[in-house]
Structure 1
Amino acid sequence: MKNSYLPLVLLWICFSCGKSQNSTQSTAISEDKELISVGKVLFEENCSACHNFTQAAIGPNLSGLTRQVESDWIKRFIANPNRLFEENDPRATALLAQYKSYMPSFSHLKAADLDALLAYLNSYSEAPKPINSNSLLDPIPEKVKDSGILLDLEFYTQIPLSDSVAPLAKITKLESAFKSNRTFVQDQHGILYELISDQPEVYLDLKKLRPKLISKPGLATGFGSYAFHPEFDQNGLLYTSHTEPGGTEPADFGYEDSIPVLMQWVLTEWKTDLPEQRPFEGIGRELLRIDVVTQIHGMQELTFRPEAQKDEEDYGLLYIGIGDGGSAESGFPFLADHGGRRVWSSILRIDPRGKNSKNGKYGIPKSNPFYTQKQKAGEVYAYGFRNPNRIFWSPKGKMYATDIGHHQIEELNLVEAGKFYGWPQREGTFVIDAYGNMAEIFPLPEDDEKLEAVYPVIQLDHDELNAIIGGYFIQNGLLKGKWVFGDVPSGKLFFADLEEPGTPEVKSWKVSFEGKTQELRELCGNDRVDLKFGQDAAGQLYLMTKADGKIYKVKDR
């Protein structure tokens, strides 16, 4: 069983898509306690980020599943959901309509794995409660319009495959070292590549340097992000984030002992005397370590403000995006709902060369909004984010962050120091009950101003996209001046003019490859694209498809 891998299996089994075949469905499923225990481990390590037994999350509430859906169908769906979609299976079709995203195939799973998982699921017999009829079923009815813009893709390079199942290469970030022509891309399985003459060459083997790094189960785990110091070419400083098992080392930021710690996010400063040399040779220094409840919503972004000058206070200060660690949907929303007293669900700002933090390994800038407030975390720059996965600045110096939503809303936020961005009391401009059914959202109350929440510059519901990913400002061509972004699962592409007065209008755009207009799902041969963007020092925009580990240049016609 130890070699069995079920990467966040989205068991999108729709309870309302057909009645149970019979009331004794569960008798064919083992009730052996040892097998249930094995299934519990499989579920907690691989499924709990998207599912639970109390409410719908990314996928539906699974309580009562095995008593309403036949076991053979569940196994078929896990092994090859695409086949059921192609057969127009009513239940599979309804799942796609409700959750608006495809589930990958897991044909590599052994029969014993599925039996153990079903035994554990079968131990939860209560069927899910119906959705409250007072909730908003279509929170944003307006649809995104197509711009008619079609841009060409040019194949750039293939990243070495680091897995045998999709995503074949977990590439998430492509950027240049500050003001240099050196461009890098990282694979979450632990490698930072430098792109030399269009080919990836290993620059930093994080897995080798930090052997406790774990990159499974999937999604954001592993090598989370990287950032080069503005003076990297002179001082050789590079920063990385990665995950290790819970309890590996004492955490700088932990919580109550009664709350589980699945993983720890670790921020490391690397120092080399030979910045140009490949592979990296140098030493690492741990700056901080943060406990998280699940494998989702971790430390997915490290960045410096690119245009900060040496005489500015912001120069050399590191911004860190840290999500809620899955705490809200796991039943611990108070970890995210902290008013600046904790570090989760926040964008942090630190001085990696300072020493006035509690652990003495980094500095807390005196200009941080909570620096002088003893009851709050001085590292926090802004808070109230579910998953601030990318942070970036506009040409005019405005700071933005994309925030992946829960069950309904995806956000782009204009980030300002000390401000609260709503999570987990708000999802976009809607009320969410973090202590109830989080699949439901409601209109804002009349006294909403009392919450003092800042709302998104852009918000879209899951009719349009399921997981927002930015995204860069385009310097030339048909999209000049626009901010581009997309949907991680489907690969849909969007843009907006963030300098537009009022609420920016979002429009979609399309791509062509080798003379043929096609969706990215067709291009990578997988219904789950795992889209990411990149941009080099020259302003060239790249699209990355994690499903197959390929990188494309976006070219104007």
Structure 2
Amino acid sequence: MKNALFVSSVCFFLIFSCTPEKQEFGGEISTDTNQILIGKALFEKHCSTCHNFNEDAIGPNLSGLTRQIETEWIKEFIKNPSKSIEAKDQRALELLAKFKSQMPGFPDLTEQDLDAILSYLHTFETLPLEIVGDTTSNLIPEKIQDSGIRLRLEFFAQLPASDRVSPLAKMTKMEAIPGTQRLMINDQRIGLYELVDQNPVLYLSVVNARPDMVSKPGWATGVGSFAFHPEFQTNGLFYTAHTEPGGTQKSDFGFTDSLSVFMQWVVTEWKAENPTASVFKGTDREILRIDNASQAHGMQELTFNPNSKKGDPDFGLLYIGYGDGGTAEKRFAAISNHKGAGIYSSILRIDPAGKDGANGKYGIPKINPFAGIPDKAGEIIAYGFRNPNRVFWDATGNLHATDIGQHSIEEINRIEEGKFYGWPVREGTFTINPFGSFRTLYPLPADDKKFGIIYPLIQLEHDETVAIIGGYTIPDGPLKGKFVFGDIPSGRLFFADLGEKPQPKVQTWGIIFEGKEASMQTLVNHDRVDLKFGIDADRNVYIMSKTEGKIYKVKTN
């Protein structure tokens, strides 16, 4: 496999303007063969997850784009889409309305990069057929209602800027070391910080310890997650997940050679010499490496069951949430639809202290549903997820996962071990054709029960949220016992009682900051919030935004 070429991701969320003129643009775009090949490489490595030349995907069909839109407009939009939106540019506003998410800007791309990409795009001459209407709108006609509940936010801390442009810091997780008050948080570009008296102190620089680590292109790359062993205070063990370029080392799990490896996700076990030290010093070992076909949908979660006590069957077992790696969008549906035989699109559970795993560096827990079964992946506890970015337990011990959908449906799933959750042939309670248009969903077949698919506990359509992120259960106040979660791009906030029968009711809640009601977008002064949640040892819940690298404490009284 060739190493992935790492430059800033250019995921062109462009939209064709419906203008009456038949003018053709792009006459100035170079047709030099070498430049086209460079552009093709850039596109395949950094854009094909979101776009193709046959149909709309996460972003629009790009076939014929350069012949219908001014070249300079395309370049400027790639570099700074926020500027176009703020200027009320018609195309940019149509984009936002249609695809429900704002593309991040890429100001560091050179003119040569942009010219090469445009040269490649210009080789696709066919203009896309107009799609009349949205084929997947109003699948869930009931709209989420506002509860009227407003909770105060209090500024708590800010991570140092790890880049010069937004997002300033890329935190995804903040939790306390088990049995202590020590509050740990990651920056995907750097490593782990401890918040000491609300000030960040660098505990472990993963980027220095692992020189091959990359956090570009953005999204969920870099240090994606971490988890401290429940007995860290005595054994000094904790775990991180980070990304490296494809082909950096031999992987433990991969896929067909017909699909290139863009990057690899690596699980590392770290052992601190002194668990009470403020800066890590100790040893480390790699325990798992997995190939990923894109920058998307990789290893978003590492966690231990916080309710498990010593002597319980899953005490000390590491849970891993792993997505489809973008393989479904690349039309390799079988990599996800593996019937328990593969590890992609799955929630995994491994024993870091064991030796009978695929590479001898971890163990397969005997309690796993497929442990010891021929032609099954013993690491799996459930499968059929596009992007299980949070794995968590409710107050009664039930395991759940949030799952980011494709074009239409976001999910919260209650996990039953050994079960299939539908992706890539289901999105929510709808059928999807993984070899057709991802924008089109269909009713379930009459004989659906025979497939044994488990459907979401909660499903939300993309007119409510476009990228779900799970939070935590609020311990007291007007949302006592409710699970709070949100929409990553917009920062819209939701809650539900996960134990409510027959089905949890979802409502929205809001925030008050410095005496005034505000949205998360106004709070961070940006259309893209990049919302995440955190929790401390006393179960206080926090809201975090990558945009400014700030952390806010939710006040419940």
C-alpha spacing 1:492/1:441, structure 2 compared with 1 (3 Å): same
Give the Å deviation of 1:362: 0.8
Question: Mean Cα displacement is larger for which, 88-97 or 370-379?
Answer: 88-97
Give the Å deviation of 1:37: 2.5
Secondary structure at 2:264's aligned position in 1? strand
Secondary structure at 1:370's aligned position in 2? coil
Q: Any conservation in 1 of the 2:136–2:439 contact (CA below 8 Å)?
A: no
Q: Any conservation in 2 of the 1:169–1:548 contact (CA below 8 Å)?
A: yes
What's 1:73 paired with?
73
CA distance in 2, matches of 1:476, 1:510: 16
Give the Å deviation of 1:26: 2.8
Q: Any conservation in 2 of the 1:17–1:90 contact (CA below 8 Å)?
A: no
Give the Å deviation of 1:5: 8.2
CA distance in 2, matches of 1:17, 1:100: 19
Give the Å deviation of 1:118: 1.3
Question: Mean Cα displacement is larger for which, 57-66 or 5-14?
Answer: 5-14
Give the Å deviation of 1:281: 0.7
Question: Mean Cα displacement is larger for which, 410-419 or 60-69?
Answer: 60-69
Q: 5 Å matches for 1:5-404?
A: 7-15=8-16, 17-19=18-20, 21-23=22-24, 25-131=25-131, 135-404=135-404
Give the Å deviation of 1:451: 1.6
Residue identity matched to 1:197: D
Q: 5 Å matches for 1:397-416?
A: 397-416=397-416
Give the Å deviation of 1:7: 4.0
CA distance in 2, matches of 1:521, 1:135: 29
CA distance in 2, matches of 1:537, 1:57: 41
Secondary structure at 1:478's aligned position in 2? helix
Q: Any conservation in 2 of the 1:241–1:265 contact (CA below 8 Å)?
A: yes
CA distance in 2, matches of 1:83, 1:353: 51
Give the Å deviation of 1:226: 0.5
CA distance in 2, matches of 1:256, 1:43: 21
What's 2:532 paired with?
532
Aligned residues: 553
CA distance in 2, matches of 1:172, 1:299: 12
Secondary structure at 2:256's aligned position in 1? coil
CA distance in 1, matches of 2:512, 2:134: 43
C-alpha spacing 1:109/1:19, structure 2 compared with 1 (3 Å): farther
Secondary structure at 2:120's aligned position in 1? helix
Q: Any conservation in 2 of the 1:20–1:70 contact (CA below 8 Å)?
A: no
Secondary structure at 2:300's aligned position in 1? strand
Q: Any conservation in 1 of the 2:9–2:216 contact (CA below 8 Å)?
A: no
Give the Å deviation of 1:479: 0.9
Give the Å deviation of 1:132: 8.9
What's 1:490 paired with?
490
C-alpha spacing 1:81/1:244, structure 2 compared with 1 (3 Å): closer
Q: Any conservation in 2 of the 1:8–1:50 contact (CA below 8 Å)?
A: no
What's 1:510 paired with?
510
Give the Å deviation of 1:148: 0.7
CA distance in 2, matches of 1:79, 1:309: 51
Give the Å deviation of 1:504: 1.1
Residue identity matched to 1:22: Q
Give the Å deviation of 1:135: 4.4
Deviations 1:426-480 (A, max 9, x none): 0000111111111211111111112211000111111011100011011111111
CA distance in 2, matches of 1:488, 1:505: 20
CA distance in 2, matches of 1:134, 1:201: 48
Residue identity matched to 2:174: L
Deviations 1:320-340 (A, max 9, x none): 001000000012111111001
Q: Any conservation in 2 of the 1:17–1:94 contact (CA below 8 Å)?
A: no
C-alpha spacing 1:383/1:5, structure 2 compared with 1 (3 Å): closer
Deviations 1:355-381 (A, max 9, x none): 111321111011111113111111011
Secondary structure at 1:388's aligned position in 2? coil
Secondary structure at 1:301's aligned position in 2? strand
Secondary structure at 1:75's aligned position in 2? helix
CA distance in 2, matches of 1:51, 1:404: 18
What's 1:499 paired with?
499
Question: Mean Cα displacement is larger for which, 493-502 or 381-390?
Answer: 493-502
Deviations 1:403-442 (A, max 9, x none): 0011111000001110100000000001111111112111
Give the Å deviation of 1:508: 0.7
Question: Mean Cα displacement is larger for which, 70-79 or 90-99?
Answer: 70-79
Residue identity matched to 2:394: S
Residue identity matched to 1:177: I
Give the Å deviation of 1:16: 5.3
Give the Å deviation of 1:162: 0.7
Secondary structure at 1:264's aligned position in 2? strand
CA distance in 2, matches of 1:215, 1:151: 34
CA distance in 1, matches of 2:375, 2:6: 42
CA distance in 2, matches of 1:5, 1:19: 39
Question: Mean Cα displacement is larger for which, 489-498 or 91-100?
Answer: 91-100
Residue identity matched to 2:215: S
Give the Å deviation of 1:12: 2.5
CA distance in 1, matches of 2:363, 2:108: 47
Point out where structure 2 has 5 or more consecutive residues left out of the alignment. Answer: none
Deviations 1:226-285 (A, max 9, x none): 101110000000011111111111111112222211111111111122011121011111
Residue identity matched to 2:207: K
Q: Any conservation in 2 of the 1:135–1:442 contact (CA below 8 Å)?
A: no
Question: Mean Cα displacement is larger for which, 534-543 or 53-62?
Answer: 53-62
Residue identity matched to 1:484: V
Deviations 1:472-528 (A, max 9, x none): 011111111000000111111110111111121111111121112111111212211
Q: Any conservation in 1 of the 2:135–2:439 contact (CA below 8 Å)?
A: no
Secondary structure at 1:155's aligned position in 2? strand
Residue identity matched to 2:166: A
Give the Å deviation of 1:19: 4.7
Deviations 1:305-327 (A, max 9, x none): 00101121111111000100000
Root-mean-square deviation (Å): 1.8
Q: Is 1:552 the counterpart of 2:552 in the alignment?
A: yes
Deviations 1:173-200 (A, max 9, x none): 0001112101100011131001101001
Q: Any conservation in 2 of the 1:6–1:106 contact (CA below 8 Å)?
A: no
Give the Å deviation of 1:89: 2.8
Q: Any conservation in 1 of the 2:214–2:222 contact (CA below 8 Å)?
A: yes
What's 2:439 paired with?
439
C-alpha spacing 1:364/1:159, structure 2 compared with 1 (3 Å): same
Question: Mean Cα displacement is larger for which, 158-167 or 27-36?
Answer: 27-36
Give the Å deviation of 1:133: 8.0
Secondary structure at 1:172's aligned position in 2? coil
CA distance in 2, matches of 1:11, 1:150: 37
